[in-house]
Homo-oligomer: A and B are copies of this chain.
Amino acid sequence: MEATPSRPWTMQQIADAAGVSVTTVSHAISGKRPVSAETASRIRRLIDEFGYAPNSGAVRLQSGRSQVIGLAVPDIAHPYFGRIAKGVEEAADSADYGLIVASTVNADPRREKRYFNMLRTRAIDGLVYTSSRSTSEVDELARQARSGAPLVLADESVPGLALPSVTTTVAEGAREAAEHLRALGHSRVAVVAGYSGLHSTEERAVAFREVLPHALTLYGDYEQESGYRIMSDLLANEVPFTAVFAHNDDMAVGAMRRLREAGLRVPEDVSIVGFDDFDVARIVTPELTTVRKDLVEVGRRAARLLLDRLATGEAGGTEVVPTELVVRGSTGPART
């Protein structure tokens, strides 16, 4: 089998075939200068026939732009980041930009620097960053921001970092969840929170307690197992509660599993509210009451913010995507 595709056509070859100069071919393609109708159509025909496409390296070198943006995520396989990625890809694609995905897993220092390096080599024109908790990252982020690199934060803003960002109304969401529970008569509520270092985790915890001041807050790691474990601890210590608010659906499901194992019924004995509205929320029985977060939209807007900046040169501000409480079967009146 032949190893390498045949050498691609160059603009010069199209020009020769059309009997014009490369300048004319270039302008016929870009439309930045008038070209006689007849010549233009001849060139177009030749381009189609040859299957010519301009060499991206040459375009990039000449223009200084790569028409590619980057997306840094901890784990592309996780549905949470997958959704953000989907939105980013969608917006990038419709602006005719490519999307390079770089994983930030494991805080591997080499990988950590990778996307910033892409920015410096001009492999990408800008970067959508979904925050991790690593402080070395935050330092680098701050440095890049100061140097004016086109950077947008998606989903998670970093306090003290004046970077354009797209977040969601997690505080409102948490407040709504709390009000929903309070309206059902719950007053003793356990909160299964996310990483304690994350800004959005704190926002939720604080907002929730504004409505239910005595909510007992325990921190997990957003994984199902931590919901399970925290619930185990609560049960082992005979902590009295009639409702649980988990910072994501996975932990809610973990908590629910533990409750079921303990012989407690949802929602008769304990009500549960999750966060995110992922697929699991509709798979468990009863279906989960949860706060929906439109992460695809977050990704879409983050990319648009970045693309706008690349187009206009003006760093945009901050956008907020609304959350929405979705009431399903996992919440009911407090047992009295």
Contacts and interface: CB of A to CB of B under 8 A. Distances in A.
A78 B82 contact: yes
A103 B123 contact: no
Contact of A89 (B64, B103, B150): B103
Given A1-B148, A100-B100, A313-B3, A56 B51 contact: no
Given A3-B315, A76-B86, 5 more contacts: A2-B148, A8-B120, A57-B64, A78-B82, A89-B102
Interface stretch (A110-118, A171-179, A181-189, A240-248): A110-118
Contacts of A99: 100-102
A41 interface: no
Contacts of A89: 76, 101-103
A98 B118 contact: yes
A177 B61 CA distance: 55
A57 B150 CA distance: 18
B315 A1 contact: yes
B76 A66 contact: no
Interface in A118-152: 118-123, 147-150
Nearest to A103: B89
User: Closest 9 A-B residue pairs measured CB to CB?
Assistant: A57-B60, A3-B313, A57-B61, A77-B86, A53-B120, A77-B82, A56-B123, A56-B121, A2-B148
A222 B224 CA distance: 25
20 contacts: A5-B119, A54-B121, A56-B118, A56-B121, A56-B123, A57-B57, A57-B66, A59-B121, A68-B100, A76-B76, A76-B85, A79-B82, A85-B101, A89-B102, A98-B100, A98-B123, A100-B101, A260-B285, A283-B283, A284-B284
A238 interface: no
A207 interface: no
A164 to B, nearest CB: 10
A336 to B, nearest CB: 28
A83 interface: yes
A122 B56 contact: yes
A55 interface: yes
Contacts of A121: 53-56, 59
A6 B147 contact: yes
B68 A313 contact: no
A17 to B, nearest CB: 17
